[in-house]
Amino acid sequence: MDLFANLWLGLSTAMTPVNLLYALMGVFLGTAIGVLPGLGPAATIAMLLPATFAMPPVTALIMLAGIFYGAQYGGSTTAILVNLPGETSSVVTAIDGYQMARQGKAGRALAVAALASFFAGTVCTLLIALFAPPLAEVALKFGPAEYFSLMVLGLIASIVLANGSILHALGMIILGLLLGLIGTDVNSGAQRYTFGLPELADGIGFVTVAMGMFGIGEIIANLEHESTRDVSIKEVKGLWPTRDDFKRSIGPTLRGTALGSVLGILPGGGASLAAFGAYALEKKVSPNRHEFGKGAIEGVAAPESANNAGAQMSFIPMLTLGIPANPVMALMIGAMIIQGVQPGPSVMNEQPALFWGLIVSMWLGNLMLLVLNLPLIGMWVKMITIPYRYLFPAILVFCAIGVFSLNNATFDVYFMALFGVIGYVFKKLDCEPAPLLLGFILGPMMEEFLRRALLLSKGDPMVLVTRPISATMLALAGILLCLVLLPAFSKTREEAFQEE
């Protein structure tokens, strides 16, 4: 069977010593930044991108992916132990996880969180292996009109989950698209918005934008709300869950995995939404719902399996369509482009080793996390207590050096500073950086696809709505936009973000 041949190819790629080592490094780093406050996976991946240029593409992607799902694990550790969710996707885990920790059941909560995540990761690896090929098959038939509409859908979907006003998010998308166009127009060779600067001929580096907006902008925002964190952690013991814990966790884990898998495919950062959704669902269906908020194991298992499933599944649109579902996937696409791999449905056929190697490595990475995290818990606990005043100058240093090494020029450092300011100012105005980054990546691609679509149709824009697949996607985008604008929906959306 094809599936097994593919997985075998993936296994033989992922199991090479080099790739195993980088997968381990990725999940280790990921867990570390998940534990550390104020440093997200997007900023870390942006920081490490320059270091991956010299690696083979598959190795680079394996490590970057490891950082991403490693961060989900690390984020839940701090959520449970000190009620400080390292990532937004583990916010709900903190509710019951921390209560369990206060009752002296921290070890059991951590173990269930890790096991539930591992289960979800395993299921999703299989799901990706099953569903990615047929999806890519469909996508191979896409013409430029379909791609253009797909990107419109992706961008619109990304604002559903952006915090704050819809109008602002739409503005950020357009601004991102525009910034992405800076540089040489591939079609005519004309210089656009370069102001005669040769450094801008290739456009603004997207690592520069990401590091500025996610790295620097976040540092300033964190410093603004600087507080002394009183971190007192009881010794963690009793790592093995009881038989009762297991029994109570099975249902929530299954439901969380299912919900996370569905929501994860949606663009816009499925992991957080999945965790919220899974928690809310358990609160409705669980026979122990009266215990929720007081340390129910279900309240840990459900969101943890859901956020890991969501994180994992967000690779599907990235790998099959070349469409980023969240900023991290946008960075992965950036990494692929820099490595000379054109993201999209053809990756699977042209680079099967890369595609399947990455998928199998995700499963191996999840296994490593399970083995790595529980025994090393003492080290992570120590890491939580590192004060931010030591962290942020080091982050700045790594950002500055990383961005310098892109072109070995200080020019990019200046631009990073500029985007740091832009990122902070827009954040203050409730304009999230994520839609801008997605637009920035997609800008040149969208222009090219629109150009080709209109060239083929001899300038008739109706081609976007007369082709059925393209029309469906535009209709979906329209429905989505209407939904978000509906008062009832926007209220629930606001409430979901309130809980954060």
Partner 1 sequence: MLRIRAEKDFWAGLLYVLLAAGFLWFGRDYKMGAASRMGPGYFPLTLGWILFGFGAISVVRSFLTDGPVIGGVAWKKLAIITAAILAFAILLPKFGLIFALPALVLLSSLASEQSEYDLKSLLALVGLVAFCIIVFVKGLGVPMPIFGSLFDGIVPPSWQR
Contact residues toward partner 1 (CB under 8 A) are 51, 165, 167-168, 170-171, 174-175, 177-178, 181, 185, 187-188, 190, 192-193, 195, 216, 219-220, 223-224, 226, 228, 387-390, 392-394, 396-397, 400-401, 404-405, 408, 410, 413-414, 416-417, 420-421, 424-426, 428-431, 446-447, 450-451, 454-455, 457-461
The smaller minimum CB distance to partner 1, of residues 4 and 193, is found at 193
Alpha-carbon distance of 292 to 181, in angstroms, equals 49
First to last CA, the chain: 45
Output the CA–CA distances (angstroms, integers) from residue 85 to 74, 90, 124, 134, 475, in the order listed.
9, 6, 23, 37, 37
**CB 348, min distance to partner 1, A:** 30
Q: Residue 449: name the closest of 426, 473, 433 by CA.
A: 473
Q: Which region, left, alpha or beta, applies to residue 430 given φ > 0 means left and ψ of -120 to 50 means alpha?
A: left
**CB 500, min distance to partner 1, A:** 16
- Within 10 A of 134 (CB to CB), how many other CB atoms are there? 10
The smaller minimum CB distance to partner 1, of residues 69 and 415, is found at 415
Q: State the DSSP code for 191.
A: E
Element (DSSP H or E) covering residue 494: helix 487-498
State the DSSP string of 1-66: -HHHHHHHHHHHHHTSHHHHHHHHHHHHHHHHHHHSTT--HHHHHHHHHHHHTTS-HHHHHHHHHH
The smaller minimum CB distance to partner 1, of residues 365 and 439, is found at 439
Name, in order, each residue with C-beta under 8 angstroms of 240's C-beta and a sequence gap of 6 or more: 107, 108, 111
Element (DSSP H or E) covering residue 282: helix 270-285
**CB 417, min distance to partner 1, A:** 4
The smaller minimum CB distance to partner 1, of residues 17 and 196, is found at 196
Q: Is 182 helix (H, G, I), strand (E, B) or coil?
A: coil
The smaller minimum CB distance to partner 1, of residues 20 and 417, is found at 417
Cβ atoms of 375 and 391 within 8 Å: the answer is no
* Residue listed under structure tokens 């997609």: 442
The smaller minimum CB distance to partner 1, of residues 112 and 177, is found at 177
State the DSSP string of 194-228: -TT-GGGTT---HHHHHIIIIIIHHHHHHHHT---
**CB 222, min distance to partner 1, A:** 10
Cβ atoms of 22 and 59 within 8 Å: the answer is yes
The two structure tokens encoding residue 154: 């992706």
The smaller minimum CB distance to partner 1, of residues 363 and 449, is found at 449
Alpha-carbon distance of 425 to 412, in angstroms, equals 20
**CB 425, min distance to partner 1, A:** 8
Name, in order, each residue with C-beta under 8 angstroms of 239's C-beta and a sequence gap of 6 or more: 107, 108, 110, 111, 374, 377
**CB 413, min distance to partner 1, A:** 4
**CB 411, min distance to partner 1, A:** 8
The smaller minimum CB distance to partner 1, of residues 34 and 420, is found at 420
**CB 310, min distance to partner 1, A:** 29
The smaller minimum CB distance to partner 1, of residues 5 and 186, is found at 186
The smaller minimum CB distance to partner 1, of residues 460 and 495, is found at 460
Residue 498 φ then ψ, to 5°? -60, -40
**CB 6, min distance to partner 1, A:** 34
**CB 467, min distance to partner 1, A:** 16
Alpha-carbon distance of 112 to 466, in angstroms, equals 51
Residue 401 φ then ψ, to 5°? -70, -40
**CB 446, min distance to partner 1, A:** 8
The smaller minimum CB distance to partner 1, of residues 153 and 177, is found at 177
